[in-house]
Amino acid sequence: MFPERLRALRRGQKMTLAELATALNDQPDADITTRQNTAAQIGNWERNLRTPSYLEVRKLAEYFNVTTDYLSGRADQEEYDLGRIFLSGKPLTFNAEKLSSEDRYELFQLMNGYLHGRQQRPAPDTTGQEELDLHFDD
C-alpha cells in the first residue's frame, strides 16, 4: 500500500522523483543526522524494492500533509483542511494553472467569507419551492 500511495501523492503534485528528493532535503525541520534523499532511493520505495525508515515516512507525511497511517495504508484520508493547504507554502494549482501567493490568499478570503456569511442566509426551503422576494412595499 505504501508504494502506491507515495507514487499517487507524488504524481498528484506532478513531481519527478528528483523534485521530491530536493523538496524533502529542503524541509526546514529535516533532521541533520539523516542522509540526503535521492531520486533513486524514492524510486526504490515506490517500486517496493526498499522500505524507508520511520523518520523518512514521517518526513513524507509532513511534506504531503497526510498522516503516517495514511501512507502505510492503515487509514484513508477522509478530510482535507483547505485552510491549511492554502496557507501552506506548498505549490498549488487549479486546472493546471499555478496559484500565486496572492491567488491563494484571495481564494482563502473568499471561502472564509462565504462560510461565515452563510449564517446570514435564510435556510433553504425543504418543499423544493423557492421564494422570490422582490421587496415591494404596499
Residue 118 CB contacts under 8 Å (≥ 6 apart), including other chains: none
Looking at residue 22, what is its pLDDT? 94
Are the CB atoms for 78 and 23 separated by under 8 Å?
A: no
Instruction: Give me the average pLDDT of each 10-residue run along the chain (138 residues).
Output: 91 92 82 77 95 91 88 73 75 86 87 83 66 64
Hey, is 5 helix, strand or coil?
helix
Residue 82, pLDDT score = 79
Radius of gyration in angstroms for the set of CA atoms belonging to the chain, rounded to a whole number: 22
Do residues 125 and 104 make contact, with C-beta atoms less than 8 angstroms apart?
A: no
Q: Rounded to whole angstroms, how far apart are CA atoms 1 and 86? A: 28
* pLDDT given at position 78: 57
- What is the CATH number assigned to the segment(s) 2-72? 1.10.260.40
Residue 18: predicted pLDDT: 96
Domain locations in the chain as residue ranges: 2-72, 82-117
Q: Is the pTM of this model over 0.85?
A: no
At residue 119, the 3 state secondary structure works out as coil
